[in-house]
Amino acid sequence: DQQVKQNSPSLSVQEGRISILNCDYTNSMFDYFLWYKKYPAEGPTFLISISSIKDKNEDGRFTVFLNKSAKHLSLHIVPSQPGDSAVYFCAVLSQGGSEKLVFGKGTKLTVNP
Amino acid sequence: GAGVSQTPSNKVTEKGKYVELRCDPISGHTALYWYRQSLGQGPEFLIYFQGTGAADDSGLPNDRFFAVRPEGSVSTLKIQRTERGDSAVYLCASSSPPVSTQYFGPGTRLTVL
């Protein structure tokens, strides 16, 4: 039973356009959300995070939006660049003493020149 | 500064053998995590250390898996009697609570023949 769902396995966009990656979660008690980017043969690299007390966090070309009522978050990349091509993982922090991350299955983003 | 390092980067072993995977966290990070990533999946939590003690080992799949962190820094994940289903990329991450962001190493790709 997946607690974190990324329903789009892949996404292809043109360089310069916006990329929107989506993530849904099931547990309304989750209160910290992260996006990681992963290149082949490398470990996941932290990209951006958001706490449940906010609905938006921006860092340069990357913005994460959180809709708590819908249990949905999204990552916007604008403008998209070919170097952004990677697998993007949504993760939530499962608290209650553990601090473990629960990941979605990832979305492979391809940015075409 | 140096990131999380993991050795070896690749490990090929035969079914039934014993393997050890090493993780060297970011200096000063008190929390250390092990995850396992199978093909087409997101990383899945195995175990979490706070200092020297395992604060949460609920993700270890069975008693063939064991991890230690004797001095609160380097950690070793040990797998006994390896099975083909253990083949995956084993990822290590560290963090410095109360900051929740986890930083990942490049992973060890384990192949059990």
Q: State the nearest Cα–Cα gap between A45 and chain B, in angstroms.
A: 7
pLDDT in the model for residue A8: 95
d(CA B39, CA B42): 8
Instruction: Please tell me if residue A41 touches chain B, with a CB cutoff of 8 Å.
Output: yes
pLDDT in the model for residue A63: 98
- Higher pLDDT among residues A28 and A4, named by residue: A4
pLDDT at residue A24 greater than cutoff 70: yes
Q: State the nearest Cα–Cα gap between A82 and chain B, in angstroms.
A: 22
CB contact under 8 A, B48 and A105: no
Q: What are the CA-CA distances from residue A69 to residues A25, A38, A102, B33, B78 (Å)?
A: 11, 29, 20, 30, 42
CB contact under 8 A, A43 and B56: no
pLDDT at residue B98 greater than cutoff 90: no
pLDDT at residue B1 greater than cutoff 60: no
pLDDT in the model for residue B37: 96
Per-residue pLDDT band at A9 (split at 50, 70, 90) = very high
- Higher pLDDT among residues B101 and B74, named by residue: B74
pLDDT at residue A109 greater than cutoff 80: yes
Per-residue pLDDT band at A98 (split at 50, 70, 90) = low
Nearest alpha-carbon partner for A89 in B25, B89, B106, B40: B40
Percent of chain B with pLDDT strictly greater than 90: 88
Could you tell me which CATH number the domain at B5-96 has? 2.60.40.10
Nearest by CB: A101 against B6, B40, B45: B45
Could you tell me which CATH number the domain at A4-112 has? 2.60.40.10
CB contact under 8 A, B103 and A46: yes
Q: In three state form, how does the secondary structure of B55-105 look?
A: EECCCCCCCCEEEECCCCCCEEEEECCCCHHHCEEEEEEEECCCCCCCEEC
Domain ranges of chain B: 5-96
CB contact under 8 A, A100 and B56: yes
For an interface test with A, the pick among B26, B46, B56 (most A C-beta atoms closer than 10 Å) comes out as B56
Domain ranges of chain A: 4-112
Per-residue pLDDT band at A56 (split at 50, 70, 90) = very high
Per-residue pLDDT band at A97 (split at 50, 70, 90) = low
pLDDT in the model for residue B6: 98
Rounded mean pLDDT, A70-99: 91
